[in-house]
Every structure is written in C-alpha cells, then in structure tokens.
Structure 1
C-alpha cells in the first residue's frame, strides 16, 4: 500500500520492525540496544504530520490507521505497535504541538511569564487547524480516559490507575492532586503541566505570590480554548492581559 517508501526505509536498518517477521525475532543478548531517535524520530514525525493533515481535511472521527499509514508512508504494523489507536496518535500530536509551539517563558516576573505564555497559546490557537485539533484532542482524551488511560503513546497503566483513584474525589482533592504534579503520564497536559508548575515554583522562589496550576488552567487556558472552539472573536492583547490580571488575583502570599 505504501510501496517503495516502506521498502526504502526498511533497507536502512536490517533489524527494523517494519521488516516482515523481524519484529518478533529475538536479538542476541550481547548485541547492544539500538539508540532511539534518528529513523524512529522520522517515523514519528511522518505519522504525526499525516494525522494532522487528515484531521484538518476531514475531522477527527475515527480516522483509520490504514489511512494514516497510506499518507505517512509508514507501515500499519509499526503504527499499531507504537500507538495502538488513532486516539493515541492524536494525544501524541497534541503533546508535540504543546511542547514545540508553547514554550514556557522565563521573563523574570510571574506576570510577564503568564502574559507571554497566554500570547503564545493564543497564537497557537489562531493556526488554521487549531479548533479541529482541539476537538480531536478532547474526544481522544475522553475515550482514552474511559479506557483506563492506557492507550496513549507510551501509555502507563499505573498512571491511568492513579487518575482513576481520584476520579470519585471532590473537586478540591482533585485540584490538589494535579497541583502537586501528579498528572497521569497519558494525559495530554502532563508534560505542559509539569512545565507550568516549574514556572510557578520559580516565581514563588523569587518571593512572588503563589499560584496553583488550576488557577492558570482555569483562568488563562480555558477561556482561550473556549473562544477557539466556539469561534468567539476578541482574543487580543488587552483580553489576554485581563485574563492574566484576573488569574493573579487568585494568588496567595
């Protein structure tokens, strides 16, 4: 189905998992492990790029992995082994976008950090496929959570179990759980949440007021997401500054 491209890729690595039957062949214990990255990173990039294109073209509802394989030139078997489901690919794609486009700033002040972050988030949401990808992320995260949180890229069943452990707790307990950095590894905001927590800790260490992670998520990201999803205009610098100032009003000393 993907023809010459798969064959060409496979020739670059005699032990590649794309080769017929080679994925199940045990390697000698004395043979050193292959380093991750390189070709593996190129495969991931191709799959994520193809998924983003397909989401932008036709929405996110049940894009077949066969279609992603066709578009990316990566064999279906390799995609299933790494991600298992389309939702897992969408979650991985969202992590990539969050990491690459929304770098957490360090301006020297908490207000400066929050305002710079809000502007970067707004700029990312202004991308042509942002609303479609955000809807796909919401749907994928909901289904992943329903499956126990174990279908994500590099999924961690233990992390899913941790999330389930607080599912029935009151809202304050859940907020404290996440603010403490206990974000399930499969959650789309896991890596970004850790980055934001470091930013908030850095500000507190400078003697600035303490904000909770939920203050930032609820006060800055949620309104930007909402306006993006419902195509509500007005996400300008003045609006973003008002979100930041309102958020800082929740800070404790």
Structure 2
C-alpha cells in the first residue's frame, strides 16, 4: 500500500514546475516559495504531506525520489546563485523558514502562512546571508 501512495506522491511532485532560474536567487527563491505554497494548498496538498509523513514514519525510509530531486534542485538553485557571486542561505535555512511553516500548518490543521509572508521570509534569508558573509 505504501508503494502505491508513494507512486502517487512522486507523480504529483514530478508534475511541478521546474525550479526557477531568473538570474537572481532572491527572485528564484520567492518563486520557489510561491510554488511550494501552491503545491501544498488545498486538500490535495494536505493529503500529499500526510501521506509522506505517514509513510516516512512507518518505514523510516528515505524520501521518495521525486521529493529528493526537489531538494536537490533547491540546492542547485542556491549553488548556481553562489557561483554568480550572490550571497545565499543554506538549503536548511530555506527549509526551516519557508517550507517548514507550510508543512506544519497542514499537519496541524491551521491556516498556512500567506505567500506574502513566505516571500518576506525569503527577504529575511537574503539579509541574513548577506550579514553572515560580511561578518
């Protein structure tokens, strides 16, 4: 049964838009936040997230390949920006400040943060990364 659920999750995640490449990581990250919010919106997003959590807790296994690819793409987006000389946060910081609040709201049945608030967090990440590089 878990295999079927993971196949559905993988298919849904594979259908997502590619990680943005606007030439500016803050813009890329803003668009990434918007995409994540849209992907997790509504009952389908709740089902997707709860399926991932229940399967992961049930077998202690690794992430489904499609989700693992999304994290790899996020890291590639950040690496690409760093190669252009931009100061970027870590993928863990992106997850903690942008993705985790979306996931927590869905898991606990609260309203997700508005996309504008997620975008503000992206701006905070940019400021934090610039400050960390300057110290």
TM-score (norm 2): 0.82
The residue aligned with 1:220 is 98
**In the alignment, is residue 90 of structure 1 matched against residue 32 of structure 2?**
no
Q: Which runs of 5+ in 2 are unaligned?
A: none
- Quote how far apart the aligned CAs of 1:96 are: 2.5
Question: Which position in structure 2 is the counterpart of 1:24?
Answer: none
1:136 counterpart residue number: 51
Residue 226 of structure 1 and its aligned partner are, at CA, apart by 1.3
Please identify which structure carries the higher helix content. Answer: 2
- The DSSP-based 3-state class of the residue aligned with 1:137 is helix
1: CA distance between counterparts of 2:54 and 2:112?
Answer: 26
SS in 2 for 1:128: helix
CA deviation after TM superposition for structure 1 residue 142, in Å: 1.6
Q: Distance in 1 between the 2:18 and 2:109 partners? A: 24
Which 4+ runs in 1 deviate beyond 6 A? none
Q: How many residues in Structure 1 have an aligned counterpart in Structure 2?
A: 129
Deviation at 1:201, TM superposition (A): 0.5
Output the aligned Cα RMSD. Answer: 1.9
Q: Which has the larger radius of gyration?
A: 1
The CA deviation at 1:108 is 1.3
Listed as ranges, the gaps of 5+ residues in structure 1 are: 1-85, 150-185
Give the alignment of 1:223-242 within 5 angstroms.
Answer: 223-233=101-111, 235-242=113-120
Q: Structure 1 residues 232, 207: CA separation in 2 closer, same or farther (over 3 Å shift)?
A: same
Q: Is the Cα contact below 8 Å between 2:25 and 2:88 reproduced in 1?
A: no
1:104 equivalenced with 2:10 (yes/no): no
Q: Indicate which of 28, 32, 42 corresponds to 1:117.
A: 32
Conserved? CA contact 1:87–1:141, under 8 Å: no
What are the superposed Cα offsets for residues 147-195 of structure 1, whole Å, 9 maximum, x if unpaired? xx3xxxxxxxxxxxxxxxxxxxxxxxxxxxxxxxxxxxx4133111111
1:87–1:144 Cα contact (<8 Å) kept = no
Distance in 1 between residues matched to 2:112 and 2:44, nearest whole Å: 19
Contact 1:105 1:117 in 2 (8 A): yes
